[in-house]
Amino acid sequence: MKLLRYGPQGQEQPGLLDRDGNVRDLSSVVDDIAGSTLLPAGLDRLRALDVGKLPIVAPGSRLGACVGRIGKFVCIGLNYSDHAAESSMTPPAEPVIFNKWTSAVVGPNDDVEIPRNSLKTDWEVELGVVIGKPGRYIDESAALDHVAGYCVINDVSEREFQLERGGQWDKGKGCDTFGPTGPWLVTADEIPDPHSLGLWLEVDGRRYQNGSTSNMIFRIPFIVAYLSRFMSLQAGDVISTGTPAGVGLGQKPPVYLRAGNVIRLGIDGLGEQRQVCRSAS
């Protein structure tokens, strides 16, 4: 299934994408793509629906983030060796963990704001993992049982805030609009191997990132198990799993986003995003 949320910002309704590319309304079945809807039983309930009987949503409706009421937005840094190299950082012995604030979450095609006083706003295409079955101290061999599905994430980052301002990475990762998520949550049964997906990103039509999830340093079962040692994972938590080489910081000379730039990014089987950059008001 491809689950999504549509409608004006702050008023999104649950939906799904049918086989013909129509958005179908799920609001008579569930209140949101969140919480208990993402539990195994909740997903089984949706799989049993006669999709053809669900109302079709008007074409062109705005898509919101594909997960609602996100509890935790946990990110893994330097999880591709080529990205660590271009950042002049040593590949980590254990996963680097940081957070994006949930106020950063926006729809996949919403504008990205360049923060006030920003000089180094950057892009990062990433595979998002959405937790379904809750747990803590999860065994690595059972970790994928806790995954509801996968999505595209643009881990927008302000490098000066992140690396040069005397604080944790979070400072440059959680600005408003820095978490475009979606267009849809593709349930795990439709992605037999999340470690064989191509992912790419373009700015103004130029391809900067062109990688594969096969190059992750830490794979998804290990990441889920590892995080569960330090926090309980709950339905609707989102894990962003790192980015391949090709970020603006790694260009020679570096290239950063400016108002008017158009970002396009996508992952095999998970859809595409498009954002226009604008200056924060």
pTM over 0.85: yes
The count of domains in the chain is 1
Grade residue 96 by pLDDT with cuts at 50, 70 and 90. Answer: very high
- For the record, the structure tokens of 250 come out as 């790694």
The mean-pLDDT minimum among 110-119, 163-172, 223-232 falls in 163-172
| Predicted pLDDT at 90 | 84
Mean pLDDT of 103-107: 98
Q: Is residue 242 part of a domain?
A: yes
Write out the H or E segment, with its range, that includes residue 86: helix 81-86
Query: Domain range spanning residue 269?
Result: 65-279
* Segment 136-160 mean pLDDT: 98
Buried b / exposed e along 59-80 (16+ C-beta atoms within 10 A): eebebbbbbbebbbbbbbbbbb
Q: Using CA atoms, how far apart are residues 72 and 5, in angstroms rounded to an integer?
A: 18
Residue 37 confidence (pLDDT): 98
With a cut of 80, say whether residue 89 has pLDDT above it. no
- Residue pair 122/247 in contact (Cβ under 8 Å)? The answer is yes
Name the strands in the sheet holding 198-203, side by side, starting at the edge strand that comes first in the sequence: 112-114, 271-279, 262-267, 198-203, 206-212
Check: CB of residue 181 under 8 Å from CB of residue 275: no
CATH number at residue 126: 3.90.850.10
Q: Which residue has the tokens 């053809």?
A: 52
Q: Is residue 189 part of a domain?
A: yes
- Give a yes or no: residue 19 inside a domain: no
Q: DSSP labels for 141-173?
A: GGGGGGEEEEEEEE--EEHHHHHSSSS-GGGGT
- Kindly state the percentage of the chain with pLDDT values over 90: 94
Q: Is the pLDDT of residue 53 over 80?
A: yes
